[in-house]
């Protein structure tokens, strides 16, 4: 599908391929293994459920994830293919960092350090952004970010 100027487009439950243009697009995948490409402009990409391939393209892009299940892990994880550190952002503020407490808590970014067994920790190592939402010191989601080996906290909306 081709997206027109500043339009929001939604995918469906199948494996969608959606490409934007040079304007500021909002592209939302569905429940399949989607391939979303923002094209030029300052785009917002929301993969949805399924293992998605996300490309922001040129411009300042925002990749939004609202649940642990949207990101996935292992063979089912989402992949950002062209993250531009210092320009693009990853927004995980919709994810409850601590599933043991009511409400929506923010993550604490711990860099490349190992999880300590405290719920709500977020770490980045080896091209993977990982979060522990239940305090078991094991990743509950893993987001692959191709070609990025250092991710400053300023690139993440916690």
Domain ranges within the chain, ordered by starting residue: 7-155
Place of tokens 């010191």: 137
Tokens in use for 109? 């970014």
What is the rounded average pLDDT of the residues 63-87? 97
What pLDDT digit, counting tens, does each position of 83-111 carry?
999 999 999 999 999 999 999 999 999 99
Highest mean pLDDT among 24-28, 72-76, 106-110: 106-110
- CATH (residue range 7-155): 2.150.10.10
Does residue 14 surpass a pLDDT of 90?
no
Q: What is the DSSP string of 65-120?
A: --SHHHH--GGG--EESS--TTT-EEE-TTS-S-TTSSS-PPPEE-TTPPP-S-TT
Give the angle 9-95-122 at the CA atoms, nearest 5°.
120
Which pLDDT score, from 0 to 100, does residue 7 have? 66
Among the listed ranges 17-26, 88-97, 123-132, 144-153, which one has the minimum average pLDDT value?
17-26
How many residues comprise the chain? 158
Look at residue 133 and tell me whether its pLDDT is greater than 90.
yes
Whole-angstrom Cα distance, residue 99 to residue 56? 30
Tokens 């770490």 identify what position? Answer: 123
The pLDDT of residue 120 = 98
Whole-number pLDDT of residue 6: 65
Q: What mean pLDDT do residues 24-28 have?
A: 93
Assign 22 a pLDDT band (cuts: 50, 70, 90).
Answer: confident
CA distance 112 to 99: 22
Q: Which one, of 36, 52, 32, lies nearest residue 44 by Cα? A: 36
């Amino acid at each position: 599908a081709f997206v027109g100027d500043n339009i929001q487009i939604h995918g469906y439950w199948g494996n969608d391929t959606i490409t934007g243009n040079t304007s500021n697009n909002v592209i939302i995948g569905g429940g399949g293994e989607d391939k979303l490409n923002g094209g030029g402009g300052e785009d917002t990409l929301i993969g949805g459920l399924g293992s998605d391939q996300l490309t922001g393209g040129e411009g300042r892009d925002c990749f939004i994830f609202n649940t642990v299940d949207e990101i996935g892990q292992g063979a089912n994880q989402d992949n950002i293919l062209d993250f531009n550190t210092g320009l693009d952002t990853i927004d995980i503020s919709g994810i409850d960092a601590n599933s043991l407490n009511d409400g929506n808590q923010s993550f604490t970014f711990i860099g490349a350090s190992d999880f300590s067994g405290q719920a709500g920790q977020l770490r980045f190592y080896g091209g993977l952004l990982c979060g522990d939402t239940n305090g078991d010191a094991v990743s509950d989601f893993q987001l692959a970010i191709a070609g990025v080996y250092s991710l400053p906290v300023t690139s993440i909306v916690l």
